Structures are given as C-alpha cells and as structure tokens.
Amino acid sequence: MRHFPLFLDLQGRRVLVIGTGEIAHRKAEPLARAGALVEMADLFDPAQLAGCALAVGADAPIEELLALSKAAQAAGIPVNVVDRPALCSFIMPAIVDRDPITIAVSSGGTAPVLARLLRAKIEALIPPAYGRLAAMADSFKDEIRRRLPEMALRRRVLERLLGGRAADLVFAGREDEARTEFSRAIAEGEPERGMVYLVGAGPGAADLLTLRAQRLLGEADVIVHDRLVTPEVLDMARRDAERIYVGKARANHCMKQEDINALLVRLGQAGRKVVRLKGGDPFVFGRGGEEAEALAEAGVAVEVVPGVTAALACAAQAGIPLTHRDAARSVTFVTGHTKEGRLDIDFAPLVRSKTTLAVYMGIVSLPFLRDGLLAHGMAVDTPAALIERGGTAAQRELRGSLDELVQKAPAWSTGGPALVLIGDVVGRGVAVRAGKSAYAR
C-alpha cells in the first residue's frame, strides 16, 4: 500500500489552491463541497500558507508549483500538485459521494484515469440511497446504544437492519416504514420479515438489466424465475441463492399461477428476501399485477422493479422506431393469446388510429390477427415484422406484409419467444448495428 487513506475534516478550514484555470476549479469544487474555505490564486506567496489545512497546485507555472510543494511540506501542510506525484505529500482521490458515506479511489498518482473509471463502476453499484440509509442509522445511534449495550448483539441487529428489509424499504423510498422497522427491531428483536421483489429481467441480455435488478439479484435469498429468463441473467444472482423454476409455456405450465402466488406469499412470510424474476417487464403481460395483489393481501411487502419490455428491445435492435411523426403517433401493446379459440381484440380502433401494434405471444394466432385487421380496413400491404428472441444476440427478423408472415412463419420459427410489430414504422427500419441489416424474407 503506497498511501495510507485518511478522511480529513475541512469544515470551516482554509485551503489554498494555486491556479485559476479549469483544472484548479475542478479541484476546488469538491473541497468547497466538503465545507472548506477555498482561496484561489494565480501565483504562490509563502505567506498564503498561514493557517491553511491543505494546499493544492493545479494549472500554474512549474516554478510556482515547485515553490508551493517545498514550502507546504516544510510547514507540515499536506500538499497535492496535479499530475506531479513527486511534488505531492497526498493524493487527491476519485470520490464517490453518498453523503454521509464517502468512498475514495486512488491509483497513487500512477493512473488517475483508471481511478475515475473504477469510481464510475462503484457509483453504478452503490445507489445514492445508501446515503439515506446511513443517515437513518445515525438517527437511531443513541437509541441503539441505550437499548442494546452489549456490542455483539448491537452489531448483529445493525447487520440485519442495514442488510435486510429496513434497507430495502429505504431504497424503495418508503422511509417511514423503514423507521418503523428500525424501532421494532431495536425494541423487540423480532425476526426480520421477508420482502418480495417483482423484477423485470429484460429481454435476456445481462447488460440490459437495470442497476437495481442487478443489485437485488446479488442480495436475494431465493430467485423464483420464469422460462424466458436466460442463464446469462441468472448468473448475476448470488451463488448460494435458492433457485425455483416456475416457467410457463403455451399449454404447458409447470406451476399454476395460483400456486406461484401462494409460493411467493409463503417465502415472504418465512422472512426470505425473494426476487421474482420475470422476462421483460413484470407489469407487461407478465401477471405481475396478480402476484402483487396476492402479496399485498397477505401482508407481505412487495416492490416492483421494471425491466426492458420485449417491444422496446425488439424494435431497438431491429432499428424500427415504435413511433414516428410521419408514420405513427402511438404504440399499442396487445397479447396474441387466444381465448376460447379466438383473439379477444377490438380491431376497429387499432386500424382507425394508425397506431403501431406490438403483439406479444402472437405467432400461433397470426392468422386470426391478419384476418381481424384486414376485415376492419387495414391495408393489405401494411408492413409487419416477426421478431424472435428479441434483444439478445440470437435475435432474428422476418419482414413482409401480414399475409406473408402468416405463410412463412411456421417454417421460419424455431420456437423461441416472438413478437409481431405491425405498422408503417416497420417500413422505416434502419440498420443500427453491424450484422443486423440483412432482413430475412
């Protein structure tokens, strides 16, 4: 370890910054944010160091920077000269500010760009809500010490609160409930209650997960997942998390929806931290609403974490704008599942509105879809696209009119999840990624 990390209290203390250019102002800004009284000057005068807690040299002539470094070190004042490690007695780190949590990253002056890149990764992993959680823990500090004088017990209770449901409630913006959870745990030592997260896994690519979804997968005790969740996404979960498969395919359900609801309630009531992982978005044809209702009725805390839904992922990768000023002013999501052998869709307003249609699970019902739309006046040559395994590296596309799709789809489909896009926007598709511009027809 080349440098020993310390956090310095600069509140109300003088800090000297030599240089008045862009770099100097960048260095002065976080110092001022930490409460320092920052004084900036073009040139160095040793008298300026009187009463200073810290000195920084930035965009000033080299002779001024040398003089600053020598005088500050002789006076025992920590000094940093930008991009000149030999003149420094301390290194200015890359900072992740989650007040009151502060994380500093340093490369010892050898690779500051790398330190900034690492800071960006840490910022992505640690949301701002951690600052609110730390502030809440601080507000209970005196009560915890009074009620739990034994240090080992106090540590166990704090670990449970800061890594469990109370923290989850803070992250969800439900701070009044989190305060209640803190008070209950401190006063009564109750076993922690569980919480269920309805998490959208997106189209399948792990890098299309939200940051919140990624964090929760790394914290969950149990992962309850669908058929459409890919191994790539499941690999983001904690290694020792229990995994329960409840996937459903057309006319082939390994578990009925009522049983899935009961399972989630049972796991939540047992105090488990549960991620119910659903392909796409949990509230778009994913029965997430039914699961949320069942959990709420049973008194189990639930949070919904949205995901990238299939229509967005498929259209983006295919280069098809779902809306366009000259083609479609709205987009409508519909399900292609049949009910009693027919599509329960009111076709007339869909044709009149000139909306883009995104039909989920529509490959089997394509003939009904074509017949209904054409019967209500849709032009026979309206562009359409059938997109299979959308949003993944295996995405494939079949384009043409609806009638062409009906004729070619049975032989073309490989059985993967598919979405149908219909409307003039399909004809405006552009190649947005190398290797994705050749459309199957």
In a domain, 132, yes or no: yes
The DSSP secondary structure of 140-160, one letter per residue, reads: THHHHHHH--SHHHHHHHHHH
One domain, residues 330 and 398: yes
One domain, residues 185 and 237: no
One domain, residues 328 and 397: yes
Range of the domain at 223: 194-308
The DSSP secondary structure of 328-389, one letter per residue, reads: BS-EEEEE--EETTEE---HHHHHHTTPEEEEET-STTHHHHHHHHHHTT--TT-EEEEEES
CATH number at residue 342: 3.30.950.10
One domain, residues 301 and 318: no
| Terminal Cα-to-Cα distance of the chain (whole angstroms) | 61
| d(C-alpha 135, C-alpha 335), whole Å | 45
CATH number at residue 248: 3.40.1010.10
Confidence at 249, pLDDT banded by 50, 70, 90: low
Domain count, the chain: 4
Q: Find the mean pLDDT for residues 308-335.
A: 91
In a domain, 375, yes or no: yes
pTM: 0.66
One domain, residues 237 and 158: no
One domain, residues 147 and 40: no
> Angle, nearest 10°, between helix axes 211-219 and 112-125?
70
* Residue type (1 letter), 140: F
The predicted pLDDT at position 292 comes to: 96
Does position 196 have pLDDT exceeding 90, yes or no? yes
CA 160, distance to chain mean position in Å, is 24
In a domain, 353, yes or no: yes
| d(C-alpha 378, C-alpha 350), whole Å | 9
One domain, residues 187 and 198: no
The DSSP secondary structure of 402-422, one letter per residue, reads: HHHHHHHHHHH--SS-EEEEE
Of 59, 97, 221, 248, the active-site residue reads: 248
In a domain, 188, yes or no: yes
Last residue of a domain, one of 192, 227, 244: 192
In a domain, 75, yes or no: yes
One domain, residues 253 and 295: yes
- Ranges 90-94, 155-159, 270-274, 402-406: which has the least confidence: 155-159
Q: Find the mean pLDDT for residues 251-276.
A: 87
pLDDT in tens, 59-79: 999 999 999 999 999 999 999
One domain, residues 202 and 172: no
In a domain, 199, yes or no: yes
**Residue-averaged pLDDT of the chain:** 88
- Ranges 31-45, 57-71, 358-372: which has the least confidence: 358-372
For residue 163, what are the contacts with CB-CB under 8 A and spacing of at least 6? 219
Q: What percent of the chain has pLDDT over 90?
A: 57
SS3 for 118?
A: helix
Of 226, 273, 278, 281, the active-site residue reads: 226
Does position 434 have pLDDT exceeding 50, yes or no? no
Does position 147 have pLDDT exceeding 70, yes or no? yes
Are the C-beta atoms of residues 140 and 41 closer than 8 Å to each other? Answer: no
| d(C-alpha 28, C-alpha 21), whole Å | 11
The owner of tokens 């967005």 is 312
Confidence at 155, pLDDT banded by 50, 70, 90: confident
One domain, residues 352 and 403: yes
**Annotated catalytic, 27?**
no
One domain, residues 262 and 226: yes
One domain, residues 320 and 337: yes
**Annotated catalytic, 226?**
yes
Residue 106 vs residues 29, 66, 85, 95: alpha-carbon distances, Å: 18, 23, 12, 9
In a domain, 120, yes or no: no
Tokens at residue 74, please? 């002789």
Residue 85 vs residues 28, 89, 103, 291, 384: alpha-carbon distances, Å: 18, 8, 21, 57, 61
CATH number at residue 86: 3.40.50.720
pLDDT in tens, 324-339: 988 888 999 998 887 6
- Ranges 77-91, 99-113, 168-182, 424-438: which has the least confidence: 424-438
For residue 143, what are the contacts with CB-CB under 8 A and spacing of at least 6? 186
Does position 25 have pLDDT exceeding 60, yes or no? yes
Last residue of a domain, one of 259, 283, 308: 308
- Give which of 173, 196, 192 is closest to 181, Cα–Cα: 192
Are the C-beta atoms of residues 157 and 164 closer than 8 Å to each other? Answer: no
Element (H, E) at 178: helix 175-188
Last residue of a domain, one of 192, 212, 232: 192
The predicted pLDDT at position 189 comes to: 61
Strands 52-57 and 79-81 come out as parallel
In a domain, 105, yes or no: no
